[in-house]
Structure 1
Amino acid sequence: MCEDCHKTRERSEEEYKRLINRLNRIEGQVRGIRGMLEKDAYCIDILAQTAAVGAALNAFSRELLSQHLRTCVAEGLRHGDDSKVDELTAALQKLLK
């Protein structure tokens, strides 16, 4: 089993609520798209909503990335753990595909 599989990070209640609220809105948007499809909505209207979901997911990722930089990466660097930079670089490569 990999050593990274069990990494965790405690989040403040405020951060947790903010992230969960974003995900709940995204989930609602995706359900809305499904409803549009079930009601035979016009393709362009559905595509507009899928673009909105993509933008919402990107905003979620930016928020999570920002928190990761401020906490995990900064703390790792303060303690001489350069592996956090490699981890961040790999994550950015996945996000920017």
Structure 2
Amino acid sequence: MNEMAEKSKKDKDAIIKRLRRIEGQVKGIQKMINEDKYCVDILIQIAAIRSAIDKVGGIMLENHVKGCVKNTIDNSNDIEEKDRVIDELVNTMLKFMK
């Protein structure tokens, strides 16, 4: 496996691991609600999930920029294609930051 493929596999494994942890946190919140736990404790867990999912999104965004966007800019001679990829990136970032 080459270095780039190995990094991609590690990133994918790390993302899946994070998503499984988030899934467990969501199930924990469901249990807390069923057990009528204190609202503040539930809100703290929701904040933790929000932070964790933002981290996953940041990793995905970084991989997209370093992979897809960089490859298009480096390898394409089509100015319109480069502009399209940059516009797509800007739109994606704006959606991600909401």
Q: Which secondary structure does the structure 2 equivalent of 1:40 belong to? A: coil
Q: CA RMSD in A?
A: 1.5
Residue 46 of structure 2 corresponds to residue 36 of structure 1 = no
Cα deviation, residue 84, structure 1: 1.2
Larger Rg over CA atoms: 2
Cα deviation, residue 72, structure 1: 0.5
**Distance in 2 (alpha carbons) for counterparts of 1:77 and 1:83:** 10
TM-score (norm 2): 0.83
Residue 12 of structure 2 corresponds to residue 20 of structure 1 = no
Residue 68 of structure 2 corresponds to residue 76 of structure 1 = no
Name the residue aligned to 2:50. 54
**How many pairs are equivalent?**
88
**Distance in 2 (alpha carbons) for counterparts of 1:13 and 1:95:** 24
Instruction: Identify the structure with the greater helix proportion.
Output: 2
**Distance in 2 (alpha carbons) for counterparts of 1:32 and 1:12:** 30
Q: Deviations over 1:64-83 (max 9, x none)?
A: 11111111110011124231
Q: Which runs of 4+ in 1 moved over 4 A?
A: none
**Distance in 2 (alpha carbons) for counterparts of 1:52 and 1:69:** 26
Q: Which secondary structure does the structure 2 equivalent of 1:93 belong to? A: helix
**Distance in 2 (alpha carbons) for counterparts of 1:33 and 1:55:** 15
Q: Which secondary structure does the structure 2 equivalent of 1:82 belong to? A: helix
% identical aligned pairs = 38
Structure 2 unaligned blocks of 5 or more: 77-81
Q: Deviations over 1:1-50 (max 9, x none)?
A: xxxxxxxxx88321221110011011011001001001100000000000
Structure 1 unaligned blocks of 5 or more: 1-9
**Distance in 1 (alpha carbons) for counterparts of 2:94 and 2:9:** 29
